[in-house]
Structures are given as C-alpha cells and as structure tokens.
Amino acid sequence: MRGRTGRHAIVSAEPLLSLKNIRIAFGGVRALKGVSFEVNPGEVHCLAGENGCGKSTLIKVITGVYTPEEGAELIFDGKPITTMTPTLAQSLGIQVIWQDLALFGEMSVAENIGFQLAVNGKFGIVDKRAIEKAAEKALSRLGVSLDIHKPLKELPIAQRQIVAIARALVGEARLVFMDEPTASLTQSEADYLIEIVRNLSASGVAIVFVSHRLAEVLEISHRITVLRDGALVGVYPVEGMTQSRITELMTGRNFDSAVIATDHSDAPVVLSVKNLTRDGEFENISFDLRRGETLGITGLLGAGRTELALTLFGMHRPHSGEILIDGKKVEFASNRDAIRAGVAYLSEDRLSLGLNQPQSIADNLVMASLDRILSGGLISPAKKANVVSHWISALGVKIGTPDDPIRTLSGGNQQRVAIAKWLAIGPKILILDAPTVGVDVGARAGIFEIARKLAAEGLSIILISDEPPEVYFNADRVIHMVEGRFQAAYDPRDISLTELESAVYA
C-alpha cells in the first residue's frame, strides 16, 4: 500500500456514539428508514453509499440539524441524548468537515482555525494572540507547519483541508465526520491527508470517513457501514472486503472492470501536439490523438496534466511548440478560439468552474452553445427546449424539471449536465479532466459508459485522472506525466494495473 503503516488497534470496544432506529422523512419522501449506526473511540469508520442514500441526512441527525422521528435512540459516551442540537453536538466534541470546507478565504489561517474562539470572545473582544496559539497548537498536533498569518485563499486545497481539520481540533474534537475529504486532492495529497487521519485515530479521535475513493476506504477504515436508499445494508469489517464488493453493496449491482483498449492506429489523426512547452508547467509534449480514440493521461501532483489541458483549450498560451487539428496548425488566443475549432474541456472543478450552481439545469446545459439556439439574434425558447430535452435524454440525466437549479442534482447528474453542455457544441475533441471527482461509484460507471459511447461514435477523448485504474480501464492508451514531461506511454492490453500503479507511484 505504497509504504503506509498498518492499522492501529481500536482504543475501546465500547461505542463512543450509538444510534438506533433513526427514521426521518422530507415531504413524504423517507430519507432514513430505521437506520442504526455506531462508532468506537479511535476508530476510522467509513460511511458508504451512493449520493442520495442518506449519508448526509444521518450526519445532520447526529449533529442536531435534523430531529429524527419518535422511537430513535442516541447515546454518546454512554449517556442517552434526548434531544441533540448543534450547540450540544459541538460541546460534546462532534465536528463535521463538509466537502466545501466552510472556510473563509479572506481570513488568515489562524482566524479560520480559531474562528469559534473569536465568536465566543468575552464582551465581543477578539483575543488574536489566543487564536494564534490555538492555531499553532492544533497544527502542531497534526504535525503540520503552515504560515498562520497567510490568507486562506492563497493556500492550495490540500492545505485548506488541513486547516479545516485543525479547526475541528480547536473544538476539542472527539468525533470528526469527514465528507469527501480527498475528492479534490491529487493522490499524493490524499496520501498525506490519510496519514493525518491515521495519527488522529491513534490519539483516540474517532473519524467517520465518507469517500467515493474505495481504495482509500479499504486502506484506512476499520469498519464500513453501507447505506442504500435510506436503509442500512450492513456493517462490515474491512478485512476481506474488496472494492467490487463494496460497490455491489452500495448499488445492488455488480460492475465488472475490464480493459477496453483497442487499436486506433488506422484512424485519422484529429489532434497533433508537437514539442508543446509552457515554461514552468510542461515541456516538449508530443502526441497524436486519433478519431474515436480515448487517450488517458495520469500522474501525481505537479505533473502538469491540467496545465496541458488548459493550453489545449486556449486558456493558456504555449511558449513554443505546435497544435494541429485535422492537420492544420491552430493558435488559440482564448477558449473561444478552441471551441470554434471543436475543442471542449470539462473542468476538474465542477462546482466553481464547470457549472453555475444558482442557475437552472437548462441554462447550464446551453451555456456554451448559445449561438446554436438563436433566432433573429435572440434565444429561441423552442430551440433551447429541444437541445435541453435531447441531451438530458441522451445522457440519462435524472431531473425534476429543466428549470430546477443545477445544485438540486446529485454530483453524478451534475457531471452529466456538464458533459452535455460541451457535447451541445458538437466538438471533435473532448477533454475530460478528473471527470469523477465527487461522484459516487455508480455514477462513475455511468460517466465512463457515456465516454465509451461517444468514442464509439467518433469523438476523440483525452481522459485525465490521478487514479490509474480510471485510465487503465477506460482508455485505449495511457500516458504517464511526471513533472511536466511525458515519462512513458502504455497500452493497457500489454501491462497489468499493478504495473501501471507501480510506475505512477514510484
């Protein structure tokens, strides 16, 4: 497991938290159906399930945001809790680190970590030195050194995660829920965060880990609780568990992984990149992408994958080298030029760059193809409705109505809309940059099924991922990038997944 240490013994066999018969409904829809759940002190416990299965609802019951129906039992540290409230949960040391982190970009690292101390200051007076001491102590406990005076917005996402964990420790955390803590991290960043989780667990802090990265779940957890459609499927020891078995428990379906790579050497070249260089980001990148081919690009932090993608999409200008589409040299002054040339780019940051969360599903879907739905210089409602209806149907997007805000959809359905947005422009080349970030395992399979179908119809795809299995099972060729250079190219038919992972993680 890439040199990580083994699991420590659970500190106590007596549950720190125990819930029984948790039932709750919203508008006639039952979100939790008599669920039971428990966590031991010092345990890393995975809460697994597809989006919409009830994980977040259960966490909000535990933290007092929602009140369950009559008949529920909640015991913390051996004492029954009649009515849980957010204030009581916090006083008990129950902390939640949500996926969006809920941090303040304009505030300093210290202010974010010691935020609660500032809020609770006597007579409204903020003791900056006390806040800084608390921040330093929390970071020291994590074995991390950060500039506590730096504005949070200047930190990369991995360090912001650490700030969120440190803030929980200032609140004397005994039980910490982590909601997709590694979803936006590279593999190496995730490895570092997991070591921090291990250290917290060893110190007696109980961790409930919610993640769609099942390899992480198996590596760090002691037990796994699986929910499906609001009901408890079961609680399982991690020993003997496999990713495919967890997937089957979560979805009720079995997803077979198989190499799909095929030879496209006889197909015409759609994209040709020659000695492309952008100083400080990538150097002398050369490759051809053929019609109907899926080219996988993988690598660790600093590999330059996204920087390369942004250059191919016209967001960055290369310093040297050439880009040719259908044999003709192109120079993009902006992404508009790239779009006109038939290049589409699905950003790795769906929430802030890929979609406009307050806007409707329909508006998001046609965002990149407005010129195709104009009539007399104005948007044609009929044309817009036809485009939206076509792609929602073609990609199997599950929605209420097209006018619903995009934020009402699950991560997997949001990603389908983001893909549809680009397909609506009729691209020749589709760049998928980490397309499964924050997407559950069932939805991941659906996204890759869409990609395979598009490739079969002749679309050329560049699939970027820091998870080797994703490119291994879903690409025709795989390129490994290291520090801005192409390290090696692989045919998945000629190597094993273990060999590819060994090369990437070497």
Residue 81 CA to chain centroid, in angstroms?
Answer: 34
What pLDDT score does 119 carry?
54
Inter-axis angle of helices 243-251 and 441-456, to 10 degrees? 100
Q: Whose structure tokens read 């240490």? A: 5
Q: Which residue has the tokens 């609770």?
A: 120
In this prediction, residue 253 carries a pLDDT of: 74
Helix (H) or strand (E) holding 449: helix 441-456
Q: Determine how many CB atoms are found less than 10 A away from the CB of residue 389.
A: 13
| Three-class SS state of 101 | coil
Alpha helix (H) residue ranges in 221-300: 243-251
Please state, in angstroms and rounded to a whole number, the distance separating the CA atoms of residues 177 and 43.
Answer: 12
Which residues have CB under 8 Å from 225's CB, separation 6+? 37, 45, 46, 47, 48, 232, 234, 235, 236
State the fold for domain 41-67+82-251: Rossmann fold (3.40.50)
Global confidence as pTM: 0.66
pLDDT tens digits, 208-246: 999 877 888 898 999 999 999 899 999 999 998 887 788
Q: What angle do CA 19, 20, 22 make, to 5 degrees?
A: 95
Strands 73-76, 320-325: pairing kind: unpaired
Residue 368 to residue 362: CA distance in whole angstroms: 12
Residue in the block written with tokens 């730096």: 150
Q: Do domains 41-67+82-251 and 269-505 have the same CATH topology?
A: yes
412-466 pLDDT tens trace: 888 899 999 999 999 999 999 988 876 767 778 888 999 999 999 999 999 999 8
Q: Cα separation of 110 and 115, whole Å? A: 8
For 405-442, give one letter per residue: b (16+ CB within 10 A) or e.
ebeebbbbbbbbbbbbbbbbbebbbbbbbbbbbbbbbb
Percent over 90 (pLDDT), the chain:
60
Beta strands in 326-443 (DSSP E): 328-330, 343-346, 374-375, 378-379, 429-433
- Residues 6+ away with beta carbon under 8 Å from 127: 117, 121
pLDDT at 345: 96
Judged by DSSP in three states, 448 sits in helix
The pLDDT profile of the chain, 506 residues, written as one tens digit per residue, is 343 444 544 545 689 999 999 999 987 778 999 999 999 999 999 999 877 788 989 999 999 999 999 999 999 999 999 999 999 999 999 999 887 788 888 999 999 998 877 555 554 566 788 899 999 998 988 888 899 999 999 988 888 888 988 888 887 899 999 988 876 676 677 888 889 999 999 999 999 999 877 888 898 999 999 999 899 999 999 998 887 788 889 888 776 678 999 999 999 999 999 999 999 999 999 999 999 999 999 987 678 999 999 999 999 999 999 999 999 999 999 999 999 999 999 987 766 677 888 899 999 999 999 999 999 889 999 999 999 999 999 998 888 899 999 988 877 888 899 999 999 999 999 999 988 876 767 778 888 999 999 999 999 999 999 888 889 999 999 999 999 999 999 999 999 988 888 888 77
For the chain, the domains span: 41-67+82-251, 269-505
Determine the pLDDT at residue 141.
86
Q: What's the token pair of residue 258? A: 């198989």
Give the class (CATH, top level) of 269-505.
alpha beta
